[in-house]
Chain A
Amino acid sequence: MASRRRGTLAVAAVALYATAASSTPPLSATAAVAVAVPATLVLVLATRHRAGLGSGTPATDPRLRRTGAAWAVLVVLGAALELAAWLHQPAYDVASPDFPTLSLLLDPVTDGAPGRFIAWSTWLYVGWRVVRR
């Protein structure tokens, strides 16, 4: 019961914060602060050793190792592709139309208000998911 209430409160807090944060203009100081506040909070919570974090699934479970390996390969390939695209840019902050980065491809989605709200909500949810008990 208490955990359900905590979950409901977290969802409401994420939705409220995402609504406010998604209205900040991109490339502005307010947008930077809007990211820095939850990032600092999550980082502080993550550095504290707290009992009850994580699941009872043993790390030796072969299914867990297989899943970890699959995601590690995907993340490494994605990072390599992003890095290769970024290195082809004429300058670090000038996008190359021939080698688009993921952020450039997602610009049409994250530029609009609904897209920004969904992106903010997803990002905040993941942060909460990492440090929740």
Chain B
Amino acid sequence: MTARTLTIAGFAVLGVVGAAVTLAGRRDRLGLVRPGALLDALRSRTPARLAIVLCWTWLGWHFLAR
């Protein structure tokens, strides 16, 4: 297995697990909540809200401005 395949597989596994965590939260399974509920809880505190906004800004810069 090449390094390229391993890297792509790593991202794919993370994507699938992320989708599974999202689905489980939406269906109230595995003791998880919706990502929106987590976001709502985090954004009620200013430091967490600012950290989220900075990550969001970086994502926009990295994927959309380049």
Give the complex CA separation of A98 and B6 in angstroms: 9
Interface of A is mostly: helix
Contact B57 A57 (CB under 8 A): no
Give the complex CA separation of A30 and B31 in angstroms: 45
Q: A42-B53, A97-B4, A110-B63 are in contact. Are A102 and B37 (CB under 8 A)?
A: no
Contact B50 A47 (CB under 8 A): yes
Interface band, chain B = 35 or more
Interface size on A (CB < 8 Å)? 52
Contact A27 B66 (CB under 8 A): yes
Residues from chain B with Cβ under 8 Å of A54 in the complex? 40-45
Contact B37 A64 (CB under 8 A): yes
Q: What is the CB-to-nearest-CB distance from B57 to chain A, in angstroms, rounded to a whole number?
A: 4
Say which residue of A27, A42, A70 sits within 8 Å of B56 (CB atoms): A42
**Listed A/B pairs (17) with beta-carbon separation below 8 Å:** A35-B64, A43-B53, A53-B49, A55-B40, A63-B32, A64-B33, A66-B32, A67-B38, A97-B4, A98-B3, A99-B7, A126-B56, A127-B56, A130-B39, A130-B52, A131-B49, A131-B53
